[in-house]
Structure 1
Amino acid sequence: MSAAAPGATFIVLMLPFLAAVVAPWLTRRLGHNAAWLLALAPLAIFIHFLGFAAEVADGGIVTGGFQWVPSYNVSFSWLIDGLSLTFAILISGIGTLIILYSGGYLKGHAQLGRFFSFMLLFMGAMLGVVISDSFLMLFVYWELTSITSFLLIGFDHTREASRRAAVQALVVTGGGGLALLAGLLVIWNITGVTQLSLLLNYGDELRASPFYLLALFLVLGGAFSKSAQFPLHFWLPNAMEAPTPVSAYLHSATMVKAGVYLLMRLNPVLGETVWWETILPVFGGATLIVGTLLAIRQTDLKLMLAYTTVSSLGLLVMLTGFGSEHAVAAAVLYLVAHSLFKGGLFMVAGLIDHEAGTRDVTRLGGLRKAMPVTFFAAIAAAISMAGLPPFFGFLAKEEIYYALWATDIWSLAFVAVAVIGNGLMFVIGFAVAIKPFLGPAVKTPKAAHEGPVLLWLGPLTLSLAALAAALVSPLTHRFISSPMASAVAGAPEEVTISLIPHMGPALILSIVTVIFGIIAYRMLDRLRAGMASLLAAIGWGPDRGFDQFVSGLVRLSVSLTRILQPGRLDIYMTVTFLMIAAALIGPMAWYGEWPAVPVWPDDVQFHELVVIAIGVIGLLAVLYARDRLIAIVSLGVQGFAVALIFMLFGAPDLSFTQFMVETLAVVILALVMTRLKLHASDHRPTLQKLFDMSVSLACGIGFTLYLIAVTQQPFNTALSEFFAAYSKVVAHGTNVVNVILVDFRGTDTLGEIAVVMVAGLAILALIRIRTPRARVADNDPDGIAVADQTAEAR
C-alpha cells in the first residue's frame, strides 16, 4: 500500500465541482461549443487515474487524504485499488463523452449552462463515492448523488411527470442512504474503524458479530435502493423523464452502479455467509427476470433500455453474491461491458429521437441510409449486449455461464435465470439497433439525417472501445479485469478468458441463449402484447404503491397535524405544562425518591419573615385581583421578593438584575395586556377551571419538590472552585458572575439575548396592533380606549 500525492488527487476530486461553477458563465459566451472546453475536466480526471493503472495492476493500493474531524477520527481520504480505479476510469471516460453529447443534444436550450453544471456536480459526486476511503466521506458523496440526480431528473421542471420522477428517485435513494448511514455506524461500532482500507482486515470479526445481520440488512437497504433491485426497481425507469444525456450517464457509469460498487467493496467483509450468498442471488435473479419481462412490454427506446438496465443490475448483484471466484470475475467483466454498450445504446436512442423526432420503435424504420454512423454504433453496441463475438460482452457472458454452471438444483436454477435474462436482453438490444434502421422507411415527425459529431462521437467511441477491449483482452485483463476482481474477492485473482471459444457447458449455454433470443425476437410483437395483457391483469405494482404510500403519508401527516397543532394557544400551553409536571413529579414517583420534609428553622430573622410575607401578600393579590393591571403589578411583587432574598444572602448583583428584569417584565406585560382585546371576566366553565387549576398546582408542587430535593443534596464545590480559580487567570475578570455570563457561558448568553430580542419584536408587533375605537368603547371595562387616547395625546 502506497500513499499518493494528496494535492493532485484532491484537485482532481474537486475539478468537477470547479467546472460546474464556471459552466453557466462559459455557456453564455460560447453556447453549446462550451462542451469542448468543459469536457477537458473529465478528460483530465481520466488521464490522472490512468496514471495509477500500472501500479494497481502490479497489486498496489494507493491511499491518501488528510484529517477532517480529528477528534472523531474522521478523515477526507481516498482509496485507489482495482475496483475504485475501474469505476473512476469509467466515470471520467464516459463522462467526457457525455459532456460532449450534451452540447449537441441540448444545443440552443435556454438552460444548457445549468444542465452542464448539474452534470458536472453529478460526476463529482459519483467519483467521490468510488474513491472514498472514509465512511463519512462515502456517505456525504452517496447522498450528493441522490441530490444531483434529483436535479437532473427534474431538469424539465415544468412537466409534472419530471417532477414526480425526481421526487420518487430522491425519496427511494435518499431513504436508502439513511439506511446505509446506519449500517456504517453499526460497522464502526463493531470494528472501531472508520476507513474502508482498514475495514478489509476485519472480515472475520464482522461476520462473527451478533450485529452482523443488522449491518448486512442496513447496507443492503442502501445498495438495493440505489441499484434499483426488485421491488425498489420502479424509480429507475421513471427517471427516463430526464434528458437522454442524463439517462445515458446514469445507466452506464454512475448512480445506478453505486449500489453494485458498495456490494463489491464490502464483499470481502460481509460476504462468504449463508445470508449474503442467499439474499443477493435471490433478489438479483428476481430483478433480472422482472427487468427483462418489463422491457419486452415497452415501445419507447429509452424505456426498453431502462428496464434492461434494471435486469443488468440484478445480474451483477446475483453474481456478486454467488460466492465463487469465477462469479466475481464474471461480475467484473459484465460491469465493464454493460457500461460500454449501455452508454452507447442510450446515446443512440437519444440521437434517433433528436433527428427523427420520436423514440417509439413502432413508428421507426429505414433509417440506415439516413444515419449510417449511428446505425454502425448501434449494431456494434447491440452485438456486445447480446454477448456475441468479437465484442467484450461475449467474454462477460461466457464467464457468467462458466461461473454459474453446476449440477445441483441451486446452480441450475440460476443458470436458467441467466439464460432467460440474457436471451431477452439479446432481443431488446437488437430491437433497439435493428428495427429503427432496417425494413421499409417510415415517415417520422422530422426528416431524419445523421446528427452532428457531438452526438455520434460518444456511441461510436464506446462501441469501438468494447471491440478493442475484447481484441486485446490480455491487456484489458491485466490493467482492468484482474485488479478489479482481486479487489472484489479480497484476494489475488487472475482473469484469463479470451475470444477463442472452448467447448464446454458455457459455450453450449451461449448457443442456447442465442437460439432463444432469435426465436423471441421474431415473436417480439406477440410477447409485447402478452406482457401488456398480463400487466393489465395484475394491475397494482410498486410504482402505483409508491403513490399510495406517499398519499397515505400525507393524509396521516394532516391528521396528526390537526391533533398536535390545532392552532389554539391554550391547548399548546396546557400540553406544555402537563409535560413539565410529568417530568418533575414522574421520576420521583416512579423511583420513590421523594425529598424529605423540610424542617422550619429556629433562627429565622424578622426581616426574612417580612420578605416571605411580602411574597404571600403578592400571591393573594394576584388571585383576588379584579383588574389586569393590578394582577400584573401584584405578580411583580413575587419577583421583588426574590430579589430581596438574593440581597439578604449576599448576592447584590443578582438582586439588582432581578429587580431590573422584574420591573421590565411588569412594564412590558402592562403595555401588552392593555392593548389586547381580552374579556373582562373568565368565561371558562367550572370543570375547565378545575382542570387548569390542577395543572398549575401540579407544576408548582413539582418545582417545589424538585428545588427541595436539589437543596438536600451535598453541595459540590468543583464548579465554584473552577470559576474562582480561572476567572481572573483566563477571562481577566474579578466579578465571577459576570465572567461566567460573558466568557464561560458566552454562547448561552448570546442565545438568551436572541430569545429576548425575538420576544421583544413579537411584543412590539402586538403593541402596534390597533383595535377600532368604536369597538373598544363598547367593551372597554379595563380602560383600553382611555389608554389608546392617552397614547395618541402623547
Structure 2
Amino acid sequence: MTALPLSLFIYFLTFINPVSRQQKLFFSYNWVPSMGINFDFLVDGLSLLFALMITGIGALVFLYTSAYMQGDRYLDRFYGYLCLFMGAMLGMVLSDNIFTLFVFWELTSISSFFLIGYNNESKASRKSALISLTVTGLGGFFLLAAFALIGNITGTYSINEMIGSAAVLKAHELYLLIIIFLFIAAFSKSAQFPLHFWLPGAMKAPTPVSTYLHSATMVKAGIYLLARFTPVLGGVLVWNNTLTIVGGFTMVYAAFHSIFKKDLKEILAFSTISALGMLVFLLGLGTSEALLAATVYIVVHALYKAGLFLVTGIIDHETGTRKIFKLSGLRKVMMPVAIAGLLAMISNAGIPPSFGFIGKDLIYESALQLNMNATVLTAVAVLANTLLLYASILVGIKPFAGPLPDTYKEVHLPDWRLWVPPLFLGAVGIILGLFPVIVEGGIITPALLSMHPTAPKIHLKLWHGFNLVLGLSAVTIMGGLLLYFSLKPSIRHEVWLAKFNKLSPQNLAIYLSRKFRDFAGLWTRLLQNGYVRIYVLVIISFLTALLAYQSFTQVRFYVDPAKISPLTSAEMVVMLILITAILYLVYTPSRLAAVAAMGVIGYCICLIFVFYSAPDLAMTQFAVDTLTVILFVLVLYRLPKYITYSNWLIRLRDGLVALFFGLLITILGLEVLNEPTSKETTQFFAENSYTLAKGKNVVNVILVDYRGIDTMVEITVLTIAALGVFALLKLQLNKYDQEL
C-alpha cells in the first residue's frame, strides 16, 4: 500500500518546476455544469505544498502502518479508510471550485470519524469519533453557508476568479457574516479555542492515524482554508485581529496545558493545538513576513510532529505504556528511535541547525516588525515556544534519558519499518535547516505568493548574525531547559488541572448537548408522540396561524357582490342537507352513524360539482366517497359502537381549531374572487391536449399525460392504503388478546 502515496508524491514533485515559475495548472471535469459545480482542480504554490505534505508523510505513515498494525484482522478496512482520508484531503487542497472543496471537506470529517473510531469495541473510541464528527460537522454547515454567500456575491464558484472580486466582497454588507461562518469552519477543523476539545479525544485512534491527522492532514485543513482565502477576504482589520487574538490565545492556552499532561499522546495533542494556534496567529498578522513564517512553520510542524508521534507509537508498541513518569533509559535498547526523537525535538525546539530554527526566527521577526503591539505579540510567541520546547523534551528525550528500568530490559529495537520513518523525518528537518535552498524556490516561495502575490523576494538562511531575533531564540531555549529541570512530571499537576474541568469548553459543550437532548425529548413527547391525531392537530394549527397572519396583513376583506352568483333552490336544499349532516356527524355517539353522515357530506359535494358543470370531478368524488364509507365501515365493524375516547375540553379544542381553519379557508376563497384571472394555462391545455396527447377530454389528458407521474404516485398511495386496510381486516389476534 505504500506504493500508492509514494507514487502520488513523486507525481506531485513533477509540478515543482512549472509552479516555481509562477504557473497555475488547471484541470477540469464536468460534474453539474448546469449549476456551475464541476471538479475544477488548481495546482499552485499553496496547493502543491499541502499535496506534497499529504502524500510524502502519507507514504511514511503507510509504511509504518504495515508493521505497527501487522496481524490486525481489519487491516484492509483500515487501509481503505486511510486511502479515503488521503484522497479527501488531496481533493480539498486541490479544488478550485468552492462547492467541490466543500464536498471533500466533509469527506475528511467522515473518513476521520471512521479512523478515530476504528477500535469500535471501545466506548472511549466511539465517543471520541462522535465528538470529532459533531464539532467538525458543525463547521461544515457554516462553511457551506459562507460559500453560498460568497458565490452569490461574486457570481463565480472559482476561488482563483474570486481574487478579482476581493474588493467587492470586503465592501459588501454581508462580509462580516461571511468571515464569521468561515472562521467557525476553520476553527472547528483546526482545533482553535473553544472548539479545540475534540482533538485530544482523537488520541484514541491508532498511532498512524494520530500521526497523519496531526501533522499533515485533518487539522491542517482549517489552516489551508484560511490561507487560501487570505487574498480573497484578508487584509481587513476584523479579519486580522480576530485571527491574531484567537490564534494567540489558543497557542498559549494549549502550550500551558501540554506541560501538565503525563500521557505522551496527550502532550503531543495539546502541542499540536498550540502549533495550529501559532499558524492562525501568523495568518492574522497578515504581513508578507508573517505569511512566510507561516509557510515555513507548516513544513516544520509536519516534519517534527509526525516524527514525535511515530516515536511515541514505537514506545507504546514496545513497552505497553505512554505514561511519561514510567519511561526512561530506552536509548539503551532502541538507540535509532532515541536519535529520531532527539532530531524531532531539536526541530520542534528551534535549535540550530534545524529547519525549526529558521521557522522560529521568522516567527519572532514577523512579530517584531509590526507597528503596533509588537512587544506584546512577540512576548506571547516566546512564551508559547518556551512551553512547547518543554513539551518536546518530555516526548523526544525524557523516555530515552536516565537509567533503564528492569521492566524494560527485554524491550528490543522494533521492525525497521517502524523506526526508519521517524528517523528519516528527523534527518530531513536537519538537512532543510542546513540547506533551505532545497525548498526555498520550488515550494516555499510559490506558496507564499499564492497568499501574498506582491510579497518581496525571499532568501532563507540559517544564520542571520547576532541580533534581537537570535537573542529571543536563546531565551526560548534557555527558558525551556530551565522549565524542564525545575518542573518534574508529577500526577499532582494533572489532578490540580482537573479541578478546572467544569469550566472547560468540552464540559460546557457536553452540558449544552445534554440540555439539547432533553429539549428534543420534550419536543418529541409533545409533538411527535406517535399519535396521528396530534400530528393532524399540529399541522392544522400551524397552517391556521400562518393563514391568519397572511389574512390579517394582506387580505382586504371585501368582495364585490356582483361576482357572487345567487343561490338556486336546488343549491339551498343541498347546503341544508350538508349542514344537517355535519351537525349530526359532530354530535352522534355512534361511529357507524358518523361514517354514514360523512358519506352524505361527500355526496352533497358531488352534487355541488354537478351544479357547477364539473361532472368528471363529481364522478371521482362519488367513487372516492363510496369507497371511503365502505372502508370505514369495514374497519370500524369490530370496534365498540358507543364509546367516548376524549373529554369535552378536547372536543371543544378540536372544534374551535376546525371552525377557525374553515373560516380562514372561506375568507381566502372569497379573496380569490378579487384576483385577476389568467386563461393562459387553460388555453394551453385546450389547444394542445388533442394535438399532443390525442385526447379530447382535457382533464383526463392532464391527469394521464401532463402529470402522469403524479397520478401514478397517487394511485400507488391508494394501493398501499388499500393493502394496509386489507391487512387490518385479516389481522388475527393471538389467544391472550382474545381472552382479554
Q: TM-score range by the shorter chain?
A: over 0.9
1:242 and 2:205 equivalent? yes
Aligned counterpart in structure 2 of residue 338 of structure 1, from 297, 301, 304: 301
CA distance in 2, matches of 1:484, 1:107: 38
- Larger CA deviation: 754-763 vs 275-284: 754-763
RMSD: 2.7
Match of 1:17 in 2: none
2:133 counterpart letter in structure 1: L
Q: Kindly, what percent of the aligned residue pairs are identical? A: 40
In structure 2, the residue corresponding to 1:388 is in which secondary structure?
Answer: coil
CA contact (8 A) 1:344 1:460 kept: yes
CA distance in 2, matches of 1:731, 1:522: 91
Aligned counterpart in structure 1 of residue 346 of structure 2, from 373, 383, 388: 383
> 1:44 and 1:678, CA in 2 relative to 1: closer, same or farther beyond 3 A?
farther
CA distance in 2, matches of 1:683, 1:377: 78
CA contact (8 A) 2:135 2:198 kept: yes
CA contact (8 A) 2:581 2:600 kept: yes
1:139 and 2:95 equivalent? no
Match of 2:606 in 1: 643
1:725 and 2:687 equivalent? yes
CA contact (8 A) 1:399 1:497 kept: no
CA contact (8 A) 2:329 2:405 kept: yes
In structure 2, the residue corresponding to 1:496 is in which secondary structure?
Answer: coil
CA distance in 2, matches of 1:531, 1:775: 61
Point out where structure 1 has 5 or more consecutive residues left out of the alignment: 1-37, 779-794
1:411 counterpart letter in structure 2: A
- 1:119, distance to aligned residue in structure 2 (A): 0.9
Match of 2:46 in 1: 83
What are the residue-to-residue correspondences of 1:333-412 with 2, within 5 Å? 333-406=296-369, 410-412=373-375
CA distance in 1, matches of 2:353, 2:739: 96
Match of 2:553 in 1: 590
2:630 counterpart letter in structure 1: V
CA contact (8 A) 2:142 2:184 kept: yes
Point out where structure 2 has 5 or more consecutive residues left out of the alignment: none
- 1:502, distance to aligned residue in structure 2 (A): 2.1
CA contact (8 A) 2:135 2:195 kept: yes
CA distance in 1, matches of 2:269, 2:719: 56
CA contact (8 A) 1:207 1:270 kept: yes
> 1:84 and 1:732, CA in 2 relative to 1: closer, same or farther beyond 3 A?
farther
2:120 counterpart letter in structure 1: H
CA contact (8 A) 1:387 1:394 kept: yes
1:226 and 2:198 equivalent? no
- Per-residue deviation, residues 84-128 of structure 1 (Å, max 9, x unmatched): 111011101111111121121111112111111111111111111
CA distance in 2, matches of 1:346, 1:178: 31
- Larger CA deviation: 464-473 vs 293-302: 464-473
CA contact (8 A) 1:356 1:446 kept: no
CA distance in 2, matches of 1:48, 1:93: 11
CA distance in 2, matches of 1:394, 1:472: 13
Aligned counterpart in structure 1 of residue 175 of structure 2, from 212, 217, 231: 212
CA contact (8 A) 2:325 2:490 kept: no
Match of 1:472 in 2: 435
CA contact (8 A) 2:261 2:494 kept: no
CA distance in 2, matches of 1:436, 1:405: 36
- 1:563, distance to aligned residue in structure 2 (A): 2.5
- 1:713, distance to aligned residue in structure 2 (A): 3.3
CA distance in 2, matches of 1:571, 1:611: 33
CA contact (8 A) 1:325 1:489 kept: yes
What are the residue-to-residue correspondences of 1:564-603 with 2, within 5 Å? 564-596=527-559
- 1:204, distance to aligned residue in structure 2 (A): 1.5
Match of 2:7 in 1: 44
Match of 2:703 in 1: 741
- Tell me the TM-score normalised to structure 2 length: 0.94
CA distance in 2, matches of 1:521, 1:211: 49
CA distance in 1, matches of 2:257, 2:587: 78
2:320 counterpart letter in structure 1: G
Query: How many residue pairs were aligned?
Result: 740
CA distance in 2, matches of 1:668, 1:700: 26
- Tell me the TM-score normalised to structure 1 length: 0.88
Match of 1:702 in 2: 664
Match of 1:107 in 2: 70
- Per-residue deviation, residues 132-170 of structure 1 (Å, max 9, x unmatched): 111111111111111111111111112121111111111
2:726 counterpart letter in structure 1: L
- Per-residue deviation, residues 634-688 of structure 1 (Å, max 9, x unmatched): 322332333344445444433332222222111111111213x346044644444
1:440 and 2:413 equivalent? no
- 1:602, distance to aligned residue in structure 2 (A): 7.6
CA contact (8 A) 1:485 1:493 kept: no
CA contact (8 A) 1:294 1:531 kept: no
CA distance in 1, matches of 2:497, 2:294: 32
> 1:605 and 1:179, CA in 2 relative to 1: closer, same or farther beyond 3 A?
closer
Match of 1:659 in 2: 622
- Larger CA deviation: 586-595 vs 308-317: 586-595
CA distance in 2, matches of 1:523, 1:554: 46
- Larger CA deviation: 128-137 vs 638-647: 638-647
CA distance in 1, matches of 2:563, 2:18: 84
2:299 counterpart letter in structure 1: V
1:174 and 2:137 equivalent? yes
1:338 counterpart letter in structure 2: H
1:714 counterpart letter in structure 2: P
- Larger CA deviation: 516-525 vs 63-72: 63-72
CA contact (8 A) 2:260 2:489 kept: no
2:87 counterpart letter in structure 1: G
Match of 1:692 in 2: 654
Aligned counterpart in structure 2 of residue 494 of structure 1, from 444, 457, 461: 457
- Per-residue deviation, residues 372-391 of structure 1 (Å, max 9, x unmatched): 22122211111111112222
Match of 1:281 in 2: 244
